[in-house]
Amino acid sequence: DTEVTQTPKHLVMGMTNKKSLKCEQHMGHRAMYWYKQKAKKPPELMFVYSYEKLSINESVPSRFSPECPNSSLLNLHLHALQPEDSALYLCASSPPLNNSPLHFGNGTRLTVT
Amino acid sequence: RKEVEQDPGPFNVPEGATVAFNCTYSNSASQSFFWYRQDCRKEPKLLMSVYSSGNEDGRFTAQLNRASQYISLLIRDSKLSDSATYLCVAFTGGGNKLTFGTGTQLKVEL
């Protein structure tokens, strides 16, 4: 069982919808991440939060908006997505120390119609 | 040149075989490396961390060669359940930036 929980597991949304992906961890990790993964490709980094502050944004389009309300929660707000945004969205967390491995959630499988 | 490169495979091996994967990285300043395993439509799961010259855990051995900038993963006595994609991961930049290789697909067959 993963200690990083993501909801929902599956999401289908239209291009005009607004939805949010949620991620929660209670391991005391202070870095949290969003990755996007297309079929047969490796995960691609989108955002990193370190101590609840956005530290890395990999030039992600503004239709994806991250939010870190506290050290345990990470959200990804979605608006006006395109069909090519359909993918597996993975949340991960890691301890405060640099060079620590990531712990991934189960992911949200997103389909944009 | 990609920051982290792997042979995508697939590697098709019989059960009981020994198989090795290599991964090269371009940033000589990278300090930490990891091997993750990912099953189809699942999240990546940490298999091994590689901080110094190498690490061994049961049937799995990871080696780090800093001079040649590659890490390897050796799997001995392959099981059917080892079939998965193996992702090589490196810290490649400042902050908490981890970069994934493309992954190597392993299929263990009867």
Out of A31, A42, A101, name the one closest to residue B49 (CB): A101
**CA–CA dist A7, A23 (Å, integer):** 7
Burial call B3-17: b when 16+ CB within 10 Å, e when fewer: bbbbeebebebeeee
Q: Which pLDDT value is given to residue B100?
A: 93
Q: Quote the pLDDT of residue B35.
A: 96
Q: Select the more confidently predicted residue: B20 or B93.
A: B20
B55, amino acid identity? N
Classify the C-alpha dihedral A55-A59-A62-A64 as positive or negative: negative
Give the other-Cβ count within 10 Å of A2's Cβ. Answer: 15
Min distance A11 CA to chain B CA atoms (Å): 15
DSSP per-residue string spanning chain A: --SEEEE-SEEEE-TT-EEEEEEEE-S---EEEEEEE-TTS--EEEEEEETTEEEEE-S--TTEEEEEEETTEEEEEEES--GGG-EEEEEEEE-SSTTPPPEE---EEEEE-
**Residue B93: pLDDT band by 50, 70, 90 thresholds?**
low
Supply the pLDDT for residue B54: 84
pLDDT attached to residue A81: 95
Say if residue B1's pLDDT is above 80. no
Please, what is the average pLDDT of chain A?
A: 94
Record: contact B96-A33, CB cut-off 8 A: yes
Neighbours of B70 (CB within 10 A): 16
Question: Is B86 touching A (CB cutoff 8 A)?
Answer: no
* Tokens linked to A112: 């944009």
**CB-CB contact of A107 with A88 (8 Å):** yes
Chain A contact for B98, CB < 8 A?
yes
Q: Note the pLDDT of residue A30.
A: 92
A33 with A47: CB under 8 angstroms? yes
**Number of neighbours of residue B26 by Cβ within 10 angstroms:** 14
Name every chain A residue with its beta carbon within 8 A of the beta carbon of B39: none
Q: Residue A2 has what pLDDT?
A: 63
User: So what's the pLDDT on residue A93?
Assistant: 95
Report pLDDT for B51.
79
Q: What is the mean pLDDT of residues B64-82?
A: 95
In the prediction, which pLDDT does B32 show? 87
B101 vs chain A: nearest CA distance in angstroms? 7
Position A1 scores a pLDDT of 53
- B39 to chain A: closest CA residue: A40
Q: What is the mean pLDDT of residues A64-81?
A: 96
In angstroms, rounded to a whole number, what is the distance separating the alpha carbons of residues A77 and A60? 12
| CA–CA distance, A55 with A49 (Å, rounded to integer) | 5
- Shortest CA distance from B102: residue in chain A: A42
Q: What is the pLDDT of residue B28?
A: 86
Q: Is the peptide bond before B10 cis (omega within 30 degrees of 0)?
A: yes
Whole-number Å distance between alpha carbons of B92 and B4 = 9
Q: Which residues pair with B50 in a beta bridge?
A: B33
Nearest to A104 among B44, B91, B99 (CB): B44
The confidence score (pLDDT) of residue A102 equals 92
